[in-house]
């Protein structure tokens, strides 16, 4: 069986990861321990006789497949992890840090996105809805010269102490907070 055959569909994965994050809370550490089925698979490489090594790999592969089918182990590729990180960007979900493995710093700290709509709220602060459904609200008092138009691109970057800064064109960045999750994709 090829590894690509064992990958979970992206929409189901996004929902499963969101549910995991909400129910697990801070219980998951920054780095999760390696599952026993993966340890067993890796251990097969130390076996010298070809026949024994092959038998070990066959048994371990069956265990990994069963664990994946029952949901004990979730296998995702880098592209799926990147999509999930992008969808969760700005949400306070520390349990999703497992998706950061193998990602470069730019992927986890910056998001370029296309604006679907922008408006000001009753307090005169900017509210920006992105094409993926994520809603970002201005939390500082900076005056925005020109709000972004639908179809324009904004850059959102992690800032100090868990905050975010949104850059709209050549204007000074404003401090924002994500307020709603986008739809699962």
Residue 56 falls inside a structural domain: yes
User: 121 vs 85, which has greater pLDDT?
Assistant: 121
Expressed as residue numbers, the domain containing 56 is 3-100
Within-domain flag for 185 = no
Among 100, 135, 153, give the residue marking a domain's end.
100
Q: What is the 3-state secondary structure (H, E, C) of 74-143?
A: CCCCHHHHHHHHHHHCCCCCHHHHHHHCCCCHHHHHEEEEEEEEEEECCCCCEEEEECCCCEEEECCCCC
Give yes or no: residues 70 and 130 share one domain.
Answer: no
Q: Which pLDDT value is given to residue 180?
A: 62
Give the span between the Cα atoms of 65 and 1, in whole angstroms: 9
Q: How many CA atoms lie within 13 A of 164 on its CB side?
A: 23
According to the model, what pLDDT value does residue 101 have? 57
The answer to whether residue 164 sits within a structural domain is yes
Same domain, residue pair 111 and 95:
no
pTM listed for this prediction: 0.52
């Amino acid at each position: 069986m090829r590894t690509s055959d064992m990958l979970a569909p992206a929409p189901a994965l996004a929902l499963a990861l969101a549910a995991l994050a909400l129910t697990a809370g801070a219980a998951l550490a920054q780095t999760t321990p390696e599952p026993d089925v993966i340890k067993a698979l890796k251990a097969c490489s130390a076996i010298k006789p070809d026949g024994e090594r092959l038998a070990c790999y066959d048994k371990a592969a069956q265990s990994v497949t069963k664990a994946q089918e029952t949901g004990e182990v979730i296998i995702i590729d880098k592209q799926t992890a990147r999509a999930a990180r992008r969808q969760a960007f700005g949400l306070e979900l520390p349990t999703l840090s497992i998706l950061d493995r193998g990602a470069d710093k730019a992927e986890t700290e910056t998001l370029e996105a296309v604006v679907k709509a922008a408006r000001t709220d009753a307090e005169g602060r900017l509210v920006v809805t992105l094409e993926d459904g994520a809603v970002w609200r201005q939390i500082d008092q900076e005056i925005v010269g020109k709000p972004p138009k639908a179809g324009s691109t904004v850059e959102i970057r992690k800032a100090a102490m868990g905050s975010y800064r949104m850059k709209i064109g050549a204007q000074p960045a404003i401090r924002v907070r994500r307020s709603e999750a986008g739809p699962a994709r």
